[in-house]
Structure 1
Amino acid sequence: MMLDTVSFVGENESNSSTKSQKTGWKILVVDDEFQAHTATAFGLRSVKVMDQPIELLHAYSGADAIQFFQKHNDIAVAIIDMVMESPNSGIELVQYIRKVLGNQKTRLVLRTDQPGHFPGIEAVSDYDIDDYQEKKNLTAQTLLTIIHGRLRAYHDLCTISAQHKTLNHVLGATANDHSTQSISELAASVLGQLKTLLDVQNPELYCLIKPNNTNQNRRVKDSYTHENLRDAVIYNSAAPKHHTSKRVLHRMRDVLETRSNMHFDDAFVVFNGGRDVTHDNILYVHHGKQLGYAGKQLLELYTQSVAITFENINLHNNLQDANKELVYLLGEAVEARSKETGAHVKRVAICSGKLAAIVGLPPATVNLITLASPLHDIGKVAIPDSILHKPEKLEPHEWEIMKRHAEYGRDILLKSKNQVTQMGARIAYTHHERWDGTGYPQGLKGENIPIEGRITALVDVFDALGSRRSYKEAWDEEQIKATLLQEKGRHFDPDLVDLFLDNLSTFQAVRKEFPDGIAS
């Protein structure tokens, strides 16, 4: 049987209030013992994580749980009893979630009062199981700690997935829009990108071109051309098909006068003086909702490039800059979760590109490696906090789970057919291989390791050695050189090590330009 959904927002709130709560973390409790459900509900009472309440769903068998998963695609955590209607019901449910549904986001916590039924290490890795506990050891405090960690991991996965979709959309649009000959065609494409980027239904965009030599007595609306992306129609003062609202005109005038970008509650206006000194350009984006810091950051990043594109109809070159920054955002999100610095991501990207160029790879390949190398550790988003942040040496089974981040990264990025994400998938999967064949996950040897993996491996280690971490100080130049020479022909491609050290000053200059603590 199934229990009604129960939400825990605050102890003094009414039932109707909690049931009407439309936002919150969905946690599915799967257990055939009623006491387990009540104990879980009691342990999570009044709990909020990242300012969001917890909504408990209750299933009393594996079959009940399957119905919940078929109905809800946003279950953040499932707490599953290993033994219910059958000794294998728990692991069978896990198999259904991961293999049949293809659900890799929901975090899975297994518990039992029969320790002999815990899954083996292979099953933990294969099905990405986050934790397993004996019920007698699962105190309220332990439960809270587990839930906080798993919800944050789920949030990170959702964030990375959303940013990956945005990245894929922007990168995919580059090829389609490169051949556009008019602003209206380009505008139609930008609309789709804005919908994905901001998750809005009907964004509007106006691109205004204001001649600097316009008579000062003329109104702003008589000196511009604008695009409404909702129907991709060009409007201008000679033959207007729609009148821009006074509020929009006032905002655009303010931006022109201050010659600076402005955020409003429902819009963002970008000022671009441009390379054509006879005109000023404005990109007005109406998104219609309050944006948080990350949303504003993404919007600023993207719209600056689009504004330049509207100016010179050179979408390929300018969107590539935006694409690179979006990749940095993805890489920095992973590094932040790993408690590393965003500057590391940028340095790895730049140094990987420089080394690829020194090797003599084609310019297109150099560009792909530069854009994709920040994604080398994206798979770490799927590694449990308890392992990722463990200060002590990892246990053997924990190390096996940690090593899976290479495979996770490949799987995340292979979902896109874009050239950059395909390159990123190869880098993520091969940058922990070693020249002597002792690396992971495949144990590739020598030139069987793709060149992009060999390049990123060397650059990643070089930058990590020269960076201060919580567990070590930054190494000096001589220590780093000695280590690279020691690992030449063992960890690293010997030819790459020679080229790298011959051009060491080039890579040291990148570190000086982008020191730790400066990610942009």
Structure 2
Amino acid sequence: MMVRTHWDVLIVDDDPDMLAISRLALKHVRVFGIPLKVHECTNKADAIKFLKATAELSDLSVALIDVVMETEHAGLDVCKFIREDMNNRVTPIVVRTGQPGKAPEREVIERYDISTYLTKVEATNEKLHATVVNAVRHHEFVRFNEGFFMFMAQFIPVSETRERIVRGVPEVISSVLRRRDGSPLEYYGCHFCLLIDGDAIAIGKFAGQEAEARALRDRLSREPSQVINHNGDRFMHAGNHVLISRAATADTPAFDLVGETNYNPMPDYTVRMWATFAQCISDLILVAERRR
């Protein structure tokens, strides 16, 4: 369902050695099979310039910020800029400091909504690796859920008929996965085909390829799968393709959600949310049919 090229990570530190150590520690890190793209700034001004320039271009997965740079509070000014000026409460901020006395841990965490506080002594390669991986995972969880609710908020008002639902899913998802200037996100794609009761709702690489999606569904359905929730929905992942299926019941039709992904492994919460998405579309179609 999702294809992502990278996770954006910002490191702000005026110490060349710390930048080199961080770069080396994160060089081969992958989260859900997807690499990091590390951006480096050496002072407050460059960090704020980068954040302003990329506010519409990237979805910053984590920021690692040194406290003491050109001033004793330069790093905290960057934290403040992210949280208050950009109104970004989603990106995890990891504060690293070689002078913890100048930025007491409890005060910094509460004042700037910091995810993790590390002294440079304890910021070993292993600790840095674990901190960044966990931060990226958390960020993806929050952003994915935020995107789902944004979609439903826009979609429910236009789901009055079956025809409008089938047409509206790709339209609304395309609008959610765009920048404010209307251009598409180049680092993130959504590719799936939802097969429900004769209808095919496709987006991304599956648009216009409904026959191929059905053939892929038939092939994947013969592979081993696992039950993912109390509804009995089944999930299988083979190569770059996934399938989420539900058998028909007395009250609801069957559905098959075929998708392409480079997430490996695909997070459990993502699988469950996509199953919920398919169920919501199925339920809205039933409601629309009953209105007729």
TM-score (norm 1): 0.39
Calculate the aligned-residue CA RMSD, in Å: 4.3
State the alpha-carbon separation in 1 of the partners of residues 258 and 175 from structure 2: 14
Cα-to-partner distance string for 1:481-516 (whole Å, 9 max, x where unaligned): xxxxxxxxxxxxxxxxxxxxxxxxxxxxxxxxxxxx
Q: Is the 8 A contact 2:62 2:93 kept in 1?
A: yes
Cα-to-partner distance string for 1:218-245 (whole Å, 9 max, x where unaligned): xxxxxxxx79899xxxxxxxxxxxxx99
Aligned residue for 2:18?
A: 36
2:121 partner SS = helix
Aligned residue for 1:57?
A: 39
Measured at CA, do residues 191 and 310 of structure 1 come closer, stay the same or move farther in structure 2, by a change above 3 Å?
A: farther
Aligned residue for 2:283?
A: 305
- Larger RCO, structures 1/2 (Cα 8 Å, 6+ apart): 2
Is the counterpart of residue 166 in structure 1 residue 151 in structure 2? Answer: yes
Which amino acid in the other structure matches residue 60 of structure 1?
Answer: T
Is the counterpart of residue 113 in structure 1 residue 98 in structure 2? Answer: yes
Cα-to-partner distance string for 1:166-188 (whole Å, 9 max, x where unaligned): 34334x42xx54xx4x5444544
Compute the displacement of 1:33 (Å): 1.4
1:302 partner SS = helix
Compute the displacement of 1:36 (Å): 1.1
Whose helix fraction is larger, Structure 1's or Structure 2's?
1
Aligned residue for 2:59?
A: 74
Aligned residue for 1:152?
A: 137
1:304 partner SS = helix
State the alpha-carbon separation in 2 of the partners of residues 151 and 245 from structure 1: 33
2:9 partner SS = strand
Q: Is the 8 A contact 1:118 1:132 kept in 2?
A: no
Q: Is the 8 A contact 1:283 1:307 kept in 2?
A: no
Measured at CA, do residues 270 and 32 of structure 1 come closer, stay the same or move farther in structure 2, by a change above 3 Å?
A: closer
State the alpha-carbon separation in 2 of the partners of residues 39 and 139 from structure 1: 9
Aligned residue for 2:89?
A: 104
Measured at CA, do residues 58 and 305 of structure 1 come closer, stay the same or move farther in structure 2, by a change above 3 Å?
A: same
Structure 2 gaps, min length 5: 178-188, 219-232
Aligned residue for 1:143?
A: 128
TM-score (norm 2): 0.64
Which amino acid in the other structure matches residue 94 of structure 1?
Answer: C
Aligned length: 242
Compute the displacement of 1:30 (Å): 0.8
Compute the displacement of 1:120 (Å): 5.9
Compute the displacement of 1:34 (Å): 0.8
Identity of aligned residues (%): 20
Q: Is the 8 A contact 1:79 1:108 kept in 2?
A: yes
State the alpha-carbon separation in 2 of the partners of residues 245 and 68 from structure 1: 40
Specify the structure having the higher radius of gyration (Cα): 1
Compute the displacement of 1:71 (Å): 3.0
Cα-to-partner distance string for 1:240-268 (whole Å, 9 max, x where unaligned): xxxx99948x87xx9xxxxxx99996998
State the alpha-carbon separation in 1 of the partners of residues 100 and 235 from structure 2: 56
Aligned residue for 1:132?
A: 117
State the alpha-carbon separation in 2 of the partners of residues 159 and 245 from structure 1: 26
Q: Is the 8 A contact 1:98 1:127 kept in 2?
A: yes
Query: Which of 250, 253, 260 pairs up with 1:290?
Result: 260
Compute the displacement of 1:295 (Å): 6.3
1:78 partner SS = strand
Q: Is the 8 A contact 1:188 1:229 kept in 2?
A: no
2:276 partner SS = helix
Which amino acid in the other structure matches residue 157 of structure 1?
Answer: V
Whose strand fraction is larger, Structure 1's or Structure 2's?
2
Structure 1 gaps, min length 5: 1-21, 209-225, 231-243, 255-260, 276-280, 315-520
Describe how 1:190-201 pairs up with structure 2 within 5 A. Answer: 190-192=169-171, 200=190
Compute the displacement of 1:57 (Å): 1.2
